[in-house]
Amino acid sequence: MVLYGLKTCDTCRKALKALNADFVDVRADGVPQEVLAEAQARFGDRLLNTRSTTWREMDEAARQGAPLDLIAAHPTLMKRPLIVDGDQMYLGWDKATQAALGA
């Protein structure tokens, strides 16, 4: 199991504490393109965190880019955490994700 997130994100830290997962800091290490593409296919627009500080600081023209290009350029725009467990993926750390992972 791999958890993609930010080491400074409280939600990511809670998820990591509850799970036995390898941690990948998206700011330092990025997310492999194939993982991002699969996450985009599964979660669509939900993958892009439009409530983040990074998003709010972007001008309207910059926001018009393709979501995967925006996340590649600004990893903090990805909703977190993204949890990959075999062929399953989970986005966020809500009650449904916690129940699905037995946390």
DSSP one-letter string for 10-62: HHHHHHHHHS--EEEEHHHH---HHHHHHHHHHHGGGGB-TTSHHHHHS-HHH
Phi/psi of residue 35, nearest 5 degrees:
-70, -45
Identify whether 9 is a catalytic site residue.
Answer: yes
Residue of 3, 9, 15, 84 with catalytic role: 9
Amino acid at position 45, single letter = D
The catalytic residue positions are 9
